[in-house]
Copies of this chain bind each other. A is one copy, B any other.
């Protein structure tokens, strides 16, 4: 059970409970070595830069700097360290955002202890690990992304405003455009998306996460 060299792990989570729990769980395994814990991104970075651990277990929901944003910062501070995300949610956005930024894995906090250990071992060995269900989410996400909205940046911006009920005039005012221009964009968007009503636009905007997630 202890043939491999020990895996060094740093824990970053703003919940003391989770930190304690993780430490307690991981310390029962001889081949896993918790070399530091941090309650926020910055102290975590300091530890990671000094220790260059094999793995950073990074909570996704943290105040100030979120775990997602922190991925790239950790990658710079300790390039050889693998990032394993910890989350309460199997949210599409979080998962794909993590993968895009270079995380090696994404595990949900409610999985059995053994799965967490398995994930750490897999990622330390250079692999990737995603909790059951997470892979499906990624596949779904990829599909959605591939035939993502075939509209331009400006149009996407206009769509976001339209979707929350703003009038052409309001949008024109906000973006410092002529009302006529907004109308043109609106027409183009509808033509490109093959819809004719505002309700359809709203629906599409919500589906694609354009509305500011109230």
Residue from the list B88, B170, B197, B207 in contact with A88, Cβ < 8 A: B88
B202 adjacent to A165 (CB under 8 Å): yes
Spot the interface stretch: A2-10, A20-28, A68-76, A94-102: A20-28
Given the known interface contacts A14-B110, A112-B16, A113-B16, the answer about A202 and B164 at a Cβ–Cβ threshold of 8 Å is yes
Interface residues on A, range: 35 or more
- The complex is assembled from copies of this chain, and their number is 2
A199 on the B face (CB < 8 A)? yes
Decide if the interface of chain A is mainly helix, strand, loop or mixed. Answer: helix
Residue from the list B20, B21, B166 in contact with A16, Cβ < 8 A: B21
Report the separation of the CA atoms of residues A164 and B200 in the bound assembly, to the nearest whole angstrom: 9
A201 on the B face (CB < 8 A)? yes
Most buried by B among A23, A116, A199: A199
A109 on the B face (CB < 8 A)? yes
Report the separation of the CA atoms of residues A104 and B206 in the bound assembly, to the nearest whole angstrom: 36
Instruction: Using CB atoms, name the residue of chain B closest to A199.
Output: B165
Report the separation of the CA atoms of residues A92 and B151 in the bound assembly, to the nearest whole angstrom: 36
In the assembled complex, the CB of A173 is this many whole angstroms from the nearest CB of chain B, namely 12
A20 adjacent to B24 (CB under 8 Å): yes
Report the separation of the CA atoms of residues A53 and B113 in the bound assembly, to the nearest whole angstrom: 27
Q: A residues engaging B (CB < 8 A)?
A: 14-25, 61, 88, 109-110, 112-113, 116, 163-167, 170, 197-203, 206-207, 214
